[in-house]
Structure 1
Amino acid sequence: MPDLPADTRDEAERLTRLARQAVDEGAVATYRDQRAALLDEHDYEARIREEDTGDVLVCYPSEWVEDGVIRPDRVEDTDRGVEIRLSGPGDPDEWNEVEEQNRAVVEAVRDEHGDAHAATARALADFMGNHYAKPIAEATPAELAEFREEYFPRNVWPTEKQRALLEDSVQLAVEEAERL
């Protein structure tokens, strides 16, 4: 069992995603600093590992590091490290759970913001579930851009109102997903 509590892992992931989605450099730095302080409470550090299949947040004990480099001779139990996929495809075996989460987002958008926003949220849910097997809450900026620029105009058959509200609808869906 890793030394890093589950709630700390979840919060580190949330802060990392917020930093990746932020457009203001000050906000990016704030989220990263909050993540570092949170992990430091457990003597852990983090970095993003880029892979061909997507980015991974890697959290590891500080004792493994010397001068900013992980020293393999200090790693006794690799199970203490934590890896959290940030981008790329999710687990297709979890499609039902992903669909359930995304359906809840669509309903929350419908309840709070109306049918036009909900229709776009439903399209985003379908895109994320079918193309990435991921909930909306885990969408990366690149995946959201792909939805807006490629999937939406080609596959949704949007109304004029949906086209006009696209940016707002996507933002509302992401915000609702983060709250649920």
Structure 2
Amino acid sequence: MDTGGEATSEGTGTDEETSAGRTDAGAETLPADVVDDVERLTRLERSTRDDHEAAQYAERVDDLLSAHGFTARIREDDGGDVLVCHPDSWLADGVVHPGRIDDVSRAVEIPLEGTEDPDDWTTVDTHNRDLASAVREAHGDVHGANAAALADFVSNHYAKEIESLSGPELREFREEYFVRNAWPSDRQRSAIDESIRLVFEVADVPVPEYDR
């Protein structure tokens, strides 16, 4: 994984860089499960004190990405480090060149904020998935699938419990992540707001205000 090689400002840094699956033009983008694995392994790499172990995590990340023709780097932002995954073909001499970028939506940006302790992250992720399972058991598969998508988003993008979500973070899930990354069915789309309400009802906490 490249942690240097700063891309040019025209490179990867827009709100569009969040898709996973395939673009309309048919060019491959990273599947959601690969994005999740890459983030998890990157967090483990950054937190371990064992250099050999860190190298193994980094190698696994590189293998996952290269299987899809992608590479990654860490970009330092004011708000914290960001993991940027993008097609290998965008690079020339280790630097992203604007002329090589075919579709910025193929890139994925993952803020590496929140807990960086893998044990803490696992605890958070388990909590969120258990909450999603409780929603599924109480309210059926459609709401359960939406709750699982919310659990994935909160664990992997903010590394915290669903109950701690802010209104803007929940709006980001509702308007961006759910639409682009969750691949929802028509039934899921029509039920998402009710699903969100049910998640917080099961968690026994108020729903953050997320409607604009």
Structure 2 counterpart of 1:37, from 60, 63, 66:
63
- Aligned residue for 1:48, secondary structure, equals strand
1:72 lines up with 2:65 in the alignment: no
Structure 2 counterpart of 1:135, from 136, 154, 160:
160
Aligned alpha-carbon RMSD (Å): 2.9
1:25 lines up with 2:51 in the alignment: yes
Q: Whose RCO is larger (CA < 8 A, sep 6+)?
A: 2
Q: Structure 1, residues 63-107: CA drift from partner, whole Å, max 9, x if none?
A: 101111111101121000000110269xxxxxxxx8x947969xx
Q: Specify whether residues 75 and 27 from structure 1 end up closer, same or farther in structure 2 by C-alpha distance, changes over 3 A only.
A: same
1:53 maps to what in 2?
79
1:67-146 residue pairs with structure 2 within 5 A? Answer: 67-87=93-113, 101=127, 134-135=159-160
Q: Which structure 1 residue ranges, 5 or more long, are not aligned?
A: 90-97, 106-132, 137-180
2:37 maps to what in 1?
11
- Aligned residue for 1:31, secondary structure, equals helix
Deviation at 1:17, TM superposition (A): 0.3
Q: Structure 1, residues 108-145: CA drift from partner, whole Å, max 9, x if none?
A: xxxxxxxxxxxxxxxxxxxxxxxxx7417xxxxxxxxx
- Aligned residue for 2:75, secondary structure, equals strand
TM normalised by structure 1 equals 0.50
Percent identity over the alignment is 47
Q: Structure 1, residues 6-51: CA drift from partner, whole Å, max 9, x if none?
A: 0000000011000011101111111001100110000000011111
Q: Is the 8 A contact 2:113 2:159 kept in 1?
A: no
Displaced runs of 4 or more, over 3 A: 100-105
TM normalised by structure 2 equals 0.43
Identify the structure with the greater helix proportion. 1
Q: Is the 8 A contact 2:70 2:85 kept in 1?
A: yes
Take 2:48 and 2:113, find their aligned partners in 1: how far apart are those partners? 16
Q: Which structure 2 residue ranges, 5 or more long, are not aligned?
A: 1-18, 21-28, 116-123, 132-157, 162-212
